[in-house]
Amino acid sequence: MTHAELQQLIPSAALGALDAAEQLALEQHLSECSECRAEMDALRNVAGLLAWAAPTMTPPNAAALRQRILSEASGTKPLTAPRTLTLDSGRSAEAPTPRSSAPVARPSRSVPSNLPWLAAAASLTLAIASGGAYLNSRSENATLARALERSRVDAQATRTELASRDSVLSAFLGPMVHVVSLSESEQRQPSARIFWNHTKNLFIVTSFNVPQAPKGKTYQLWAMRKGKAPMSMGTFNPDPSGRALALVPVGTIADAGHIDNCAMTLEPEGGSPQPTETPRLMGAWRHVD
């Protein structure tokens, strides 16, 4: 599409009315065109005002809701920087990684939706960096621990959960940790990161803002090598907040060192031998160290 054609998409995008392919095309253009980016920002702000067109209502239990929000907040601390959880070795933390595009399938569905996350998520980037300096300060360490703590824990499974967190945390903290970061440019877009701990030979998969899989479905991760069939890295399902944390033994992936891309698809429960849809999240491994 030309600049002019893409520009025409902006008003619809502001109202969330683009389908996945259109949204993807526009997102890519926005990353390159400051004029359109400025227009998008302006119209997004106009669209934001539309909330006032809905009947402005006070929640029935406004005081309770306020209290709930505030007490939940007092139990957590804001992330000091959005990229704290991303690998940051000091050398490799520069800059938005280049976006790689992936075709995105728009699943058929009966309930109206626009799945904005899906389109936005189509651009993913992966980065690998050496993990020795991953947690280069105590505060980052603490932030990571808090982030992990925020995962919702079933009360009954607390012990198991804590043990598993300890192991995850120690996996993160290993001396040889590589990370694949499927990052996003905007908040609330689904993303996933895959850390590769070479010492423990584990992939640590995290997801954020990934909607829970519908009943009977599960997300499945794929390791891809050029000219080879995708290899399943396992399945996972995020919790209601969109987060997931999963450990995958690297040993299950043949020749893991030569993976070109990773992808995430939605598959029937139990996973599929091969992907049955176009990836929802995808990104290329890129060595940055």
Could you list the residues that contact another protein (CB under 8 A)?
A: 8, 11-12, 14-19, 22, 41-62, 65-66, 68-70, 72-74, 76-82, 109, 111-114, 116-117, 150, 186-188, 211-212, 214, 241
For the record, the structure tokens of 117 come out as 């996350």
For the record, the structure tokens of 251 come out as 């040993």
- 139 vs 160 by CB, closer to another protein: 139
Torsion over CA: 283, 285, 288, 289 (sign) = positive
Q: How far is the CB of 232 from another protein (least distance, A)?
A: 26
- 113 vs 201 by CB, closer to another protein: 113
Q: How far is the CB of 109 from another protein (least distance, A)?
A: 8
- 208 vs 285 by CB, closer to another protein: 208
- Sheet bearing 177-182, strands edge to edge: 177-182, 191-197, 202-208, 244-249
- 70 vs 273 by CB, closer to another protein: 70
- 58 vs 156 by CB, closer to another protein: 58
Q: How far is the CB of 207 from another protein (least distance, A)?
A: 15
Distance of alpha carbon 190 from alpha carbon 183, whole angstroms: 9
Q: How far is the CB of 63 from another protein (least distance, A)?
A: 10
Give the up-direction half-sphere exposure of residue 265: CA atoms within 13 A in the CB hemisphere: 25
Q: How far is the CB of 215 from another protein (least distance, A)?
A: 10
Q: Which residues contact 230 (CB under 8 A, 6 or more apart)?
A: 222, 223, 224, 263, 274, 275
Q: How far is the CB of 214 from another protein (least distance, A)?
A: 8
- 9 vs 233 by CB, closer to another protein: 9
- 41 vs 166 by CB, closer to another protein: 41
Among 250, 245, 131, 234, residue whose Cα is nearest residue 201: 250
Q: How far is the CB of 221 from another protein (least distance, A)?
A: 22
